[in-house]
Amino acid sequence: MSKINVTVNGRPVEIEAGGTILEAARAAQVRVPTLCHIEGLEPSGSCRICSVEVEGRRTLLPACAEPAADGMQIKTNTPRVLAARRQMIQLLLANHPDDCLYCMRAGDCDLQQMAQEVGIRERAWRRGEHRTHAMDRSSPSVVRDPNKCILCGKCVRICDEIQGVAAIDHAGRGFDSYVLPAFDDELASTVCVNCGQCVAICPTGALVERSDLARVWRYLADDSYVTVVQTAPAVRAALGLVYGLSGNEAEARMATALRDMGFDYVFDTQYTADLTIMEEGSELLQRVKEGGPLPLITSCSPGWIKFAEHFYPEFLANLSTCKSPQQMLGAMVKNYWAEEMGVPAEKVRVISVMPCTAKKFEAERPEMETGAGRDVDAVITTRELIRAFDEMGLDFDRIEPGEFDEFLGKSSGAGAIFGATGGVAEAALRTVYNLLTGENPGPKDFEAVRGLDGVKEIELTLPDDTVLRGAVVHGLGNARRLMDRVAAGEAEYAFIEVMACPGGCVGGGGQPYGADAERTAKLAGELYQIDDERVLRFSHENPEILKAYEEYLGEPLGDTSHRLLHTTYRGRSKFSSEGEEDES
């Protein structure tokens, strides 16, 4: 592709022809602020915060949307540009609530940060009429406050163009414009899949996760409860990013920090990731050998499950009946562990720390209960855990490393990589290969499923020379495109791994703000590093898993396993969250 030469604030740079002014500024290492821009999507240029001055042009131009031209002279910080940027932010603030002290995004709000950067220290206009809308707390995962919405459109675009759900959109005109679900319904009654990608990208507090932290503090303060916490693999990778540690270092310090919070027992969701592999791998082989709906589709991602219930009910029988690792651990704690420890199940409270807002929805599903009641009692996100550490005044840098409890806490490297797209498939194939051949595969045999390509494919040759083709997909928009091909008979697979969030759990809606492809790849790399450094790298060799089958579960897909570790799903309307006929 041809190159062009432009100048940004006097710095000459060369970029690809067709690139934008924003790309030119970045090439010149000049920061231009943006609010509405989403990397990888067509620019909308709606907020105008990125406006710049170009020599020979009378009007200011949006850097995100305006193509750069050869010889263009660009200035990003002239008095005219700064005055315009300041005025646009003042206009947004004029209709924004003044509750920053109480907002969940305080100190981590793009609008607040930009106001500070341009030197806004007082309100430019007296408060007049304001938009006033009721908060929507109906969802178990997401809280909507339309009064804090600045109409940047990021949530609408991520929900539609990336996730393919389109649960929200713009409505009204002028002063009455705002973002809402169809017919102004509550979010819980729509096709929202609770993935939280809208929360992750919202620049203000208009969309935040529903916090369960207050409930967790109540459990911890009540001595009548035995409190158990579990943490997903992607959480430790994110904590490492926040605190400048490796995934292994963050994991060890997190175990101590959770005990300092007051939890009686600290377990690892990676343990039940290994358990999921034993069940799901056996399920795949059973369907291949004895007949059953293929492709077998993974069921670890609750956002994907609800998406399938709404838009692909004809494939519900293809979903693995395995509960997710989160739910499996809750069921194991309240049954197997409670019996072994002599603790009444009704006195046990299981709290999950997850990278995912949809896990809050999953924990409340009626299908996720056993004889001991709800498998998981509360779910907090990675962001909520960091807030809890802040509330405690905990200095994560100085905390001593610790360990998970051994019973239900020991895991393999295969369990660690569950948090990255392709990780479930790779972990499962390691064990399926062993079940078929009696040998373990090489360390790089299934690395074809790694990376951030939207759809990846892999093949496994069975001893009888039968070839099983599999696919790995992340992001629900990619999942929709793949499932449409499968439905049309254009693609045939034995198994499909689907993760709702871009990059998998490491890119979950409950992770620290500021996600992009580079960060997602880095977090995934931390999980693969944990796997590489583990002596135990195969789920089927985890001694705690083998012990659980020997002492309690019996065998994969056995009666006890089905009662505790498997579930069913139901079809839902394509227009609301109403249930339809039971499909699985």
Per-residue model confidence as pLDDT tens digits over 99-120: 899 999 999 999 999 999 999 9
Q: Which of 138, 299, 320, 577 is catalytic?
A: 320
The string of pLDDT tens digits covering residues 4-25 is: 999 999 999 999 999 999 999 9
Active site residue 122: no
Whether residue 471 contacts residue 496, with contact meaning beta carbons closer than 8 Å, is answered with yes
d(CA 298, CA 107): 38
Catalytic residue among 148, 323, 359, 360: 359
Could you tell me the fold of the domain covering 104-109+131-209? Alpha-Beta Plaits (3.30.70)
| pLDDT, tens digit, 9 for 90 and up, residues 421-461 | 999 999 999 999 998 889 999 878 898 999 999 999 998 88
Q: Any catalytic annotation for residue 320?
A: yes
Q: How high does pLDDT run on average in the chain? A: 93
Helix axes 382-392, 247-261, angle to 10 degrees: 60
pLDDT for residue 466: 79
The verdict on whether 283 is a catalytic residue reads: yes
Axis crossing angle, helix 269-290 with helix 423-437, rounded to the nearest 10: 60
Bridge partners, residue 420, by sequence? none
CA–CA gap between residue 580 and residue 47 (Å, rounded):
41
Rounded distance, CA 467 to CA 77, Å? 60
Distances (CA, A) of 36 to 151, 198, 417: 9, 13, 33
User: Where exactly are the structural domains of the chain?
Assistant: 3-91, 104-109+131-209, 214-582
Could you confirm whether 280 is annotated as catalytic? yes
List the one residue out of 453, 460, 393, 401 whose CA is nearest residue 426: 460
Q: Which of 103, 152, 322, 505 is catalytic?
A: 505
Task: Determine whether 364 is an active site residue.
Answer: no
- What ranges in 323-398 are assigned the alpha helix state H? 325-332, 338-341, 358-364, 382-392
Which residues of the chain are modeled with pLDDT < 50?
A: 581-584
Candidate list 66, 362, 384, 497, residue with the active-site label: 362
Active-site entry in 55, 339, 340, 367: 367
Catalytic one among 64, 155, 195, 300?
300
Domain 214-582: assigned CATH number: 3.40.50.1780
Instruction: Point out the catalytic residue in the list 251, 279, 283, 583.
Output: 283
Pairing outcome for strands 579-582 and 467-474: unpaired
505 tagged catalytic? yes
pTM confidence score: 0.94
3-91 architecture in CATH? Roll (3.10)
Q: Note whether 326 and 335 are within 8 A (CB).
A: no
Let me know: does 226 contact 58? Beta carbons within 8 Å. Answer: no
- Tell me which residue of 360, 108, 376, 98 sits closest to 211, measured CA to CA: 360
Q: How many CB atoms lie within 10 A of CB 284?
A: 26
Active-site entry in 279, 280, 526, 583: 280
Alpha-carbon distances of 472 from 43, 454, 476, 481, 494, rounded to whole Å: 29, 8, 12, 12, 12
